[in-house]
Structure 1
Amino acid sequence: MQYTLMMQVIASRNYWQLKHLKITAIGTRSESKIKDTCNHLAEFAQSMNIPFSYKIVMVADMLDFNIDLLELDRHEKVAVYSSVSLSNLIVKPNHLEHLMREIRKINPCITIVNEVEANHASLLFVNRFIDALFFYGALFDSMSVCLVDDDLNRKVAESVYYAYSIHNIVAAEGDDRMIRHTGIDVWRAFFCRFGMVENELSGESLNEAKLLIKNFNCGNCCTIRPSGRCFLVAWDGVPIFSVSAWKFI
């Protein structure tokens, strides 16, 4: 959704013309699904009269990733978008740090990070249990409001993804605990180590996000608010995601 919205904004701005939009997807699995998404974006870009191309980079794991695989043009302006990806690498700190070093080599003009806003990395069981209770309780509530009971996507999300996540966060210990979501304050400290500074998201983007929320049948349950320089998305007051913008210095 975020890419189609971006294309709509690009197409609506008459005071400057984009020469070409290229999206590069980096993945370690599900290549066919990534390709389907890219083909859909190509069709949408064509309908918007936006010059567009895409590239898919598949690696066995992030230690195999390097910027040469991107085949960047030195005249390109590069932005990086990461959506709930970095937290998957917390259990593999060497993979995460390698990825950050490669991104730093790119020196993107902006890096947008969308991450889970929760504390599921605590060593104490009781802390993980309480945080998971509120976090996944909010997710289940959002599903019940936004989707009907027999919706296939809802069934898969609840019975497969959420069920596995809850069990892993609460019941697993040590190396078996693969899901270790952490909050924006921890990410701020981590990004600082790589020479990144947080950019304040604009009031215009906040207003656009609030208008988008109004298009969905969620009443006042879903909210978005500033937290420092980032935005927090919450359900019934429980933070679920953070969105932040970063630059290398």
Structure 2
Amino acid sequence: QAILEAFDSHDRVHVVDFNLMQGLQWPALIQALALRPGGPPALRLTGIGPPSPDGRDALRDVGFRLAELARSVGVPFAFRGVAANRLDDVRPWMLQVSPGEAVAVNSVLQLHRLLGDQEDEGGAPRTSAIESVLGWIRGVRPKIVAVVEQEADHNKAAFLDRFTEALFYYSTMFDSLDGGGGRRRRHHMGMGPAVSAGERAAAEAYLQREICNIVCCEGAARVERHEPLARWRGRMGRAGFRPAHLGSNAFKQ
């Protein structure tokens, strides 16, 4: 919704998604643009994701599906896939941002992976990956940068500090999953949505991988470096960004 509002009155719009996955986050935007008074804008989507291990172009496959949807609702659409293992491997020229486009950048649970050590192997300071990426994001002059990150404090040097923070944070997460079982029982009584056993198992496996990385890995291998909102606000401010006001529709969502 925030991206939709940022695109208001623009006839050429470009979304850069830092983690395209299956593209399930974009049909709602495409359909909303199709209903825009005065007609839909021309939409370009650049989806970033890791190279497929089997050699097929998974990003292109997602682009084809989204193009079919856009065509069915009358939204002019173009897609570009950028395969990269890390965001700091991406360069602005790969995005092919055109003059006159309104750009939106979408990052869901990706930027914390760039908060690695800021010294080279010899101990000399170097430009961090997060500074580099935020710099080129700023360079493409986006109308909005939508960032979703965990509200946690797992980017600590001392193992015991990380362990303690992770213990409390993930205890709450697993308690929430346990509550999902209660919702499943209430659903059978007609009292709410169900949480399937498969969804619970997938969530547990995902959280277990995060926990293992936080408490068992060091150096470049430790990528789950979650930080609290105050630290992100300061980092984004130093990079030249300012908080955007959420419209009433985005706030309700």
The TM-score normalised by the length of structure 1 is: 0.72
Cα separation, 1, equivalents of 2:175 and 2:115 = 23
Which residue number corresponds to residue 164 of structure 1?
209
1:1-249 pair list within 5 angstroms: 1-14=24-37, 16-30=38-52, 32-91=57-116, 94-122=128-156, 123=158, 124=161, 125-139=163-177, 141-142=179-180, 145=183, 146-149=194-197, 151=198, 154-159=200-205, 161-169=206-214, 171-172=215-216, 174-175=218-219, 176-207=221-252, 209=253
Q: How far has the Cα of 1:136 moved from its partner? A: 4.1
Q: How many residues are paired up? A: 203
Cα separation, 1, equivalents of 2:134 and 2:34 = 32
Cα separation, 2, equivalents of 1:182 and 1:109 = 25
Structure 1 portions without partners, runs of 5+: 210-249
1:50-73 Cα deviation digits (max 9, x unpaired): 111100112353343221111221
RMSD of aligned Cα (Å): 2.4
C-alpha contact 1:62 1:99 (8 A) present in aligned 2: yes
Cα separation, 2, equivalents of 1:2 and 1:121 = 28
C-alpha contact 1:62 1:98 (8 A) present in aligned 2: no
CA shift in 2, pair 1:184/1:12, >3 Å: same
Q: Percent identity?
A: 27
Farther-moved stretch of structure 1 (57-66 vs 82-91): 57-66
Cα separation, 2, equivalents of 1:202 and 1:92 = 37
AA in 2 matched with 1:29: P
AA in 1 matched with 2:136: E
What is the SS of the residue equivalent to 2:65? Answer: helix
Cα separation, 2, equivalents of 1:132 and 1:102 = 33
Runs of 4+ in 1 over 6 A off after TM superposition: none
1:169-220 Cα deviation digits (max 9, x unpaired): 3x3253253312122221101101101100111122222x2xxxxxxxxxxx
The TM-score normalised by the length of structure 2 is: 0.71
CA shift in 2, pair 1:133/1:60, >3 Å: closer
When you count strand as a share of all residues, which structure comes out higher? Answer: 1
CA shift in 2, pair 1:92/1:105, >3 Å: farther
Larger Rg: 2
AA in 2 matched with 1:179: E
C-alpha contact 1:11 1:49 (8 A) present in aligned 2: yes
Cα separation, 1, equivalents of 2:201 and 2:222 = 24
AA in 1 matched with 2:83: M
What is the SS of the residue equivalent to 2:105? Answer: strand
Cα separation, 2, equivalents of 1:140 and 1:118 = 20
Q: How far has the Cα of 1:144 moved from its partner? A: 7.2
Cα separation, 2, equivalents of 1:55 and 1:62 = 16
Cα separation, 1, equivalents of 2:181 and 2:152 = 18
CA shift in 2, pair 1:40/1:165, >3 Å: same
Structure 2 portions without partners, runs of 5+: 1-23, 119-127, 184-193
Q: How far has the Cα of 1:105 moved from its partner? A: 0.8
C-alpha contact 1:121 1:128 (8 A) present in aligned 2: no
